[in-house]
Each structure stands twice: as structure tokens, then as C-alpha cells.
Amino acid sequence: MSDGSTTTAEFVNPLRDPQDRRLPQIAGPCGIVLFGVTGDLARKKLIPAIYDLANRGLLPPGFALVGFARHDFGRQGFARLVKDAAKAGARTAWNESTWKQLYSGFRFVEGSFDDDQAWETLRTTLDDLDAKQGTQGNHAFYLSIPPGLFPVVVSKLKEHKLAEAPGNAWRRVVIEKPFGHDLESARELNAIVGEVFAPEDVFRIDHYLGKETVQNILAFRFANEMFEPIWNSNYVDHVQITMAEDIGIGTRAGYYDGIGAARDVIQNHLLQLLALVAMEEPISFNAASLRIEKQKILANVRAPERLDLHTAFAQYTAGWAGGQEVIGYHDEEGIPADSTTETYAAMRLDIGTRRWAGVPFYLRVGKRLGRRVTEVAVVFKRAPHLPFSSDDVEELGQNALVMRIQPDEGVTLRFGAKVPGTVMEIRDVNMDFAYGGTFVEDSPEAYERLILDVLLGDPPLFPQHQEVELSWQILDPIIQHWSRKKSIDSYEAGTWGPASADKMIARDGRRWRRP
């Protein structure tokens, strides 16, 4: 283990490209206190992202990383955990100079959340870092912990004056989803956090909003004039937003059961995607302007009156996925035999604005589906086909614009073209743009972008409490309707969901895409 003896003056990052404009800003003097350092999120996402930011020269030389946990790691043990996680999960190559620089700012505080002495130790540790590492009182508290512990940690930060920044310094808090489990709990959590931190110092992480392709929705819509005239109910028939996973719940039974697919994904990821697709053009891409337009959309989203006809929820049963035989949800370790938690959710939502009146938005999410994919499909109305006979267009579907979020990031435009030959026959063809085949640069991982934005105090990609509460207002009636049902539908693992979801969209004369 290195002793971290490299000085600030000696540190030169050879990997930083001065022409790289994707993450051009460098964080000033600061540190992160990471609660939940032993969890999957910290080890697989947060620590690798912090290392990658350092490797790209986007963290200050005196950056500090403080771990807080019950484990008796000590500084050396904490450093080993960080090193193992960074080597396993970082997307940039290992660099010993970067590691030495990071190591100099490592600290570890052992204790539980109800241990006041541990909180006092944390406070003196931050004071020591300010004096010796040059963090200048700037610290972000990252709550990578179960949601039920948020109020405890936030109250302790207040009690021990850790949320109070000296002079012109800052203190910020980062909260992972879910932001409550319904509207009432979200409001309670927002009130608790709001008593300790100012709104501009609260960062609610939705890692989907940090993905390059999600941000490209904004660029695609507002940088290309050819699409704006048809981005409305005059031309758009409907929109489908899909997040499909081919995996089961894995080791997440303790978290997932009782939460379910709708709370886990629709309340945050999919409703945010809906807002980005449907919003009006902001006057700029700063946080305030984006927030205003997203809130306008979410405030006008309505679920249909007949929730029994326009929503569906189900659990996966045993089947074949990815060429392997897999067990059903009730057979997963830690899942009660009588659980009615949904692993699949689908719903129709409508937006009561002039642009989108009469255009249904179909949202679906599920585990153990046919393949892993997240996409937004804007499906256009059929052309009148007046010059063509019915035989000419028999193989022609509807034009569609598909924005692929993951895993094959890109955009596909489906349109009709003549089949070569002597007769007039029109068939669907695809025009495809793939990020990997166009840009030689690797896209930053979502958490890189989001962590850097926290340290910069730049919040455009973070939903504020108004967006969170509006999302719960949309979803709560649907979940309450489901809770009153005594049974839950099922679907075989490896398929594309339950028959009830197919019937739901078929009632509107439409069908789900098969990505």
C-alpha cells in the first residue's frame, strides 16, 4: 500500500485531454463523506466513478474521501476497499500517480448512526482535512444507505453541526432513490431534509439522468429543427417508454419486495424520461429553466379513469432467460410465498397540454423480460396512402423514431421505402445512428457526471422536491388501485410480459414494440 507521499505540486495527470469538452469543469477544493461504503452501489458505481474523475483530472489535487461505517477498517482497510473497487469497476486504466494522490485524502470513521462519539469524530476529521488537505470546509455527504435511514443521518448532521459550512464554504447532501414510497412519505422526507439543507444544497440522484443518451434527448429535440414541427398531436400517434431487464431481483429481495417495479423505476426514471420527451423548449439548459418545463409536464400528466383497463401489473414465473432455466419470483431467496409485489408494471398516461392532447404515453418496466433494453419510441400516425393500393403498403407499419438509452445507445428512424423490383411495394426500413460507431470518445459513466455536478454545485440533472412530489401524485392512485386487488397476474420469464398488458394497449388499437 502506498503511503501517499506524492505532493500536490508533483501530481500531473497524463490522461487528461485538454480537448475533452464533455466534462470541462474541474471541481474546486472539496471532499465527499460516503455513508454506506460497503454497499453494492458504493463499490460498483460510486468509488469507480470517483477514481475515473480523478484519473481524468477533474478532481482537485487535495480531494478527500471519508468513509463512515460500522466496520473496523481503519484508513488502510478503507484504502484497500477503495482500491479493489476502483480496479474492478473503473472504465479508465489504472494509474499509480492518480492512486497516490487520492490516497492522501482518505480517512475512515468507524461507528453506527446512533453513535454520537462517531459523529464527533467525523466532525474533527473534516476539520483536520480542511487544515491539512485544503478542502476549505467544502464537503458533500453522500447517503448511499437504505431510504429508512435518511432521516436519522440528516438529523445527526444537523445535531453535530456538520451541515453548517464555515464562511463561504458549502455543505451538500446527496440522496439516492427512492425518494419516499408514496406522496406522504416523500413530503415528510423533503420536510426533514429541508430543515437542515437549503434546496440548492440537496441533490436527489437519478442516475438515468446522467446517461449521455438521456441528455441527448434534449439535444436531439432542440438542436434539430426538422423534428419540432411534427413533435405534437397532429403527427404523433403515441409514445412508448420501455425499461426491460433480463435479470431477476438477484440479492435485492430485502429492498425490492414491498417496493416493486412501479416505485423502483416508473416514479423516477420513466416519468423523468416522459418529461424530457414532452416538455416545451426551455429558455436555456440551466437548472431553473429545465425544472420549470419538466414540472409543467408532470403537473399535467393524468392517469385514465379506468385504471382496471389501462394499467397492468404482474410477477415473473419460472422459465428460460438468456438460454438458462430460471426460477420464479416466489422462489427467489427472501421472497414470501404470498408476496403480491409486482416485477412488471405497465400503464397509459395522458398529458393535458395543447401539444399532447389525445396522445397516449405508454410506460412499461419489467424484470426477466426478453432482453435488456431501455428506449423511448415516438410512433407517428399512419399516412393516408392515397396514391397506393392496399397491396402496395401491406408490409408497411407506422413511422417511428426510437431513442435507445441502453445498451446499444443510439437513434433509429423507421420509415417506408420501395422494395426493388418492377412493382410498387413499400416496406419498413431503418436508418440507424449508433454512438459507438460515430464518436471515438468513451462516454462518461452516469455517476461521473452526477458526482462532478454535485461538487460543482450544478443541479440541472437532479429532480427537485416539486418533481418528486408531482411524480408520486401521478403514481399513488395506480398503486393504491393495485393494492386493492387480491391477486396478481403472472408472466413466464424470458417473455415480454403478461397477457393483461397486451390487452391493455390493444384496447386502444395499438400494440407493444418488440425491441
Q: What does DSSP assign to residue 147?
A: G
- Look at 396 and 302; give whichever has higher pLDDT: 302
On average, the pLDDT of the chain sits at 87
State the amino acid at position 191 in one-letter form. Answer: A
Domains of the chain: 31-206 (3.40.50.720), 209-506 (3.30.360.10)
> Which region holds residue 404: left if phi is over 0, alpha if psi is between -120 and 50, else beta?
beta
Separation between Cα atoms, residue 471 and residue 1, nearest integer Å: 47
Mean pLDDT of 330-359: 95
Indicate if 139 belongs to the active site: no
The dihedrals phi and psi of 160, each to the nearest 5 degrees, come to: -100, 20
Residue 214, pLDDT score: 75
pLDDT tens-digit series, residues 91-138:
999 999 999 999 999 999 999 999 999 999 999 999 999 999 999 999
7-16 pLDDT, tens digit each:
333 333 333 3
Q: Write b or e for each residue in 190-218: b if 16 or more Cβ atoms lie within 10 A of its Cβ, otherwise e.
A: bebbeebbeeebbbbbbbbbbbbbbbbbb
pLDDT tens digit string along 148-171? 899 999 999 999 999 999 899 999
* Rg over CA atoms, the chain: 25
pLDDT exceeds cutoff 80 at 458: no
Q: Residue 322: how many CB atoms within 10 A of its CB?
A: 13
| Mean pLDDT value across residues 203-231 | 82
Catalytic residue among 139, 181, 238, 269: 269
Q: Are the C-beta atoms of residues 165 and 137 closer than 8 Å to each other?
A: yes
pLDDT confidence tier of residue 173, bands split at 50, 70 and 90 = very high
Q: Is 444 helix (H, G, I), strand (E, B) or coil?
A: coil
